[in-house]
Amino acid sequence: MNLLHNIQLKNLTLNNNIFLAPLAGYTSYPTRKIYKMQGNFTCYSEMISAEGLNHSFRKSIEIIDTKAHESPVGIQLFGPNADKILSAFLKIRQFYFDIVDINCGCSIKKVLKSNSGAYLLNNPDEIYRIILRLKNETDKPVTIKMRSGYDNCRKNYLQVHEAAVKAGVDMITFHPRTRAMLFSGKADWSLIKEMKKISPVPIIGNGDIFSADDAIRMINETNCDGVMIARGIIENPFLFDEIFAKFNSKAYNSPSASDRVERLLLHCKSLADFYGENRGIREIKKFVKGYLKSLPDISIIRRRLGEVNNFTDFENILKNFLKSL
């Protein structure tokens, strides 16, 4: 079995089977731009509220920052039912994106309170209606991202899979934790294997992939069609480099201190150019820990970087840090 291969979704050919998850607060365009330096995987914008698009369009539309040159790129909508998701989709269908994904896995309280995200797992019939309505309105692939169930008493992943396939879903990304687990415990990859055995559509595995070896092991253990990276890329911003190297049976050398600082500065500059310097500096601070991981005295450097509000000071601190090494 080839680790790296294309995936066909209707008329869309994905270059490979590596995906970047839609991460609220993280996967904005300037961040995707930096990550895509590592390879042309499929990426998603931050997840988008259907309610927000229906009631606060101008504010919510800013999240749809997808560009044609980053294709293949998808958007992910979350909402409580087919009517509201379809209404939101019709408002944005003219924007550029290749895939529309429905979130059936988000477990944060704000999303659950709106009967969205993982709450939909309680109602496979509504997931069926959402997919069917979207399929009737677009030629783009319609996909879902799901968990194994709402809690241990309601692990209905096969029922959700059946409803989604019946509605015509083009691909399923499966994170085998329940809503109640959040990110605790371990993702049960055996459930991915179980779903893959019966699925007529591609199954993408997600959950606990923090290294290329994890990605390889998931594919080998579950026979899933591809892997989606989420928290792993925040902890290791070079993870796609590692995955593409090892999937192609090439040697991989961990980034040096200078590599880490250089990429961090590029990321900071990308955010500052897109959002403006002040917001860009605020946004980059949540990525610093991952970039400087394993380097000495990073707690001191992180604290100093946390106090700056312009790119010049940010850059000077990091360059002086490199000199000290």
Residues 6 or more apart in contact with residue 89 via CB below 8 angstroms? 50, 77, 100, 134, 137, 138
Determine the Cα–Cα distance for residues 56 and 68; give it in Å rounded to an integer: 25
Closest-CA residue to 170 (of 99, 223, 224): 99
Determine the Cα–Cα distance for residues 207 and 188; give it in Å rounded to an integer: 9
- Active-site choice (43, 104, 106, 268): 106
Determine the Cα–Cα distance for residues 192 and 179; give it in Å rounded to an integer: 16
Query: In this structure, which amino acid lies at residue 201?
Result: V
> What's the burial of 113, exposed, middle or buried (CB within 10 Å: 0-12/13-18/19+)?
exposed
Annotated active-site residue 106? The verdict is yes
Residues 6 or more apart in contact with residue 150 via CB below 8 angstroms? 118, 119, 121, 122, 156, 178, 179, 180
Residues 6 or more apart in contact with residue 64 via CB below 8 angstroms? 45, 48, 75, 92, 95, 97
Closest-CA residue to 210 (of 202, 220, 218): 218
The vertex-274 CA angle with 269 and 275, nearest 5°, equals: 100
Q: H-type helices in 93-175, by residue range? A: 109-113, 124-135, 157-167
172's tokens: 């399923």
Catalytic sites, residue numbers: 106
